[in-house]
Amino acid sequence: MMTSVVAFVGAAFLIAMVPGPSTVVILRRAVVNGRRTGMATVMGNECGVLLWGLAAAFGLSALLLASQVAYDVIRIAGAAVLVWMGARALWQARRAGQPDQGPAGTAAVSLRRAYWQGLATNFANPKAGVFAVSFLPQFVPHGAPVLPTLLAFSVIWAVVDLIWYLPLVWLAGRVGGVLQRQSVRRRMEQVSGAVLVGLGVRLATGP
């Protein structure tokens, strides 16, 4: 059992290190709005990871493998979420520099909103569900109780993901604190917005 846990932790770290929509959203929030907002986004993302893990444990995400319609519905919805967030970031960049936007040129974001953005970005990605249902069962040792083991792995997966994002948010927040120039923040919004829109279009048009 311990060997399976160690192997799973190592694999989960490798997966967390692969950049994706969640990474873009988390770093954007940490740089533009500070570490607390970045951490709120991380917590939302980890709740999404945990939900996908639990869905895989109870067999719900297997529906995404069995039903093309269910997969497509979630895929289009997730793409719409990414495009909307990207478009909003581009709009914020355009508005940067106007008098009512404050010295940093960006509007404040509540912790609750940052949390929901992290959750929506992760949970609206059907590829995460397909990955969860095909990834987690591989590490269940022969003869081990399947459901309790999958539930434990789901929690471990979320914790590993959290551990990976903690230093990223700290570093991004530090950069955000140093780079106070309005032009830098505006460029960050432009880049992250364009990336999110691109990821959304890719998700919508991909298989």
23-32, 38-47, 54-63: least confidently modelled range: 54-63
* Cβ-based neighbour number of residue 163 at 10 Å: 13
| List of E strands, 15-151 | none
* ∠ Cα 53 118 163 (to 5°): 65
- Sequence letter at residue 7: A
The tally of CA atoms less than 13 A away on the side-chain side of residue 156 is 19
Q: Structure tokens of 75?
A: 């895929």
* Predicted confidence (pLDDT) per residue in 90-122, tens digit: 777 676 545 444 434 445 678 999 999 899 888
Q: Structure tokens of 39?
A: 């951490």
Question: pLDDT over 70 for what percent of the chain?
Answer: 77
- Structure confidence at residue 102 (pLDDT): 43
- CA quadruple 119, 122, 125, 131: dihedral sign: negative
The DSSP letter of residue 145 is: -
* Predicted confidence (pLDDT) per residue in 169-180, tens digit: 988 877 766 555
- Structure confidence at residue 64 (pLDDT): 60
pLDDT exceeds 70 at position 50: yes
Assign 185 a pLDDT band (cuts: 50, 70, 90): low
Q: Between 155 and 126, where is the model more confident?
A: 155
Assign 87 a pLDDT band (cuts: 50, 70, 90): confident
Q: Between 37 and 185, where is the model more confident?
A: 37
* Dist CA 86 CA 88 (whole Å): 5
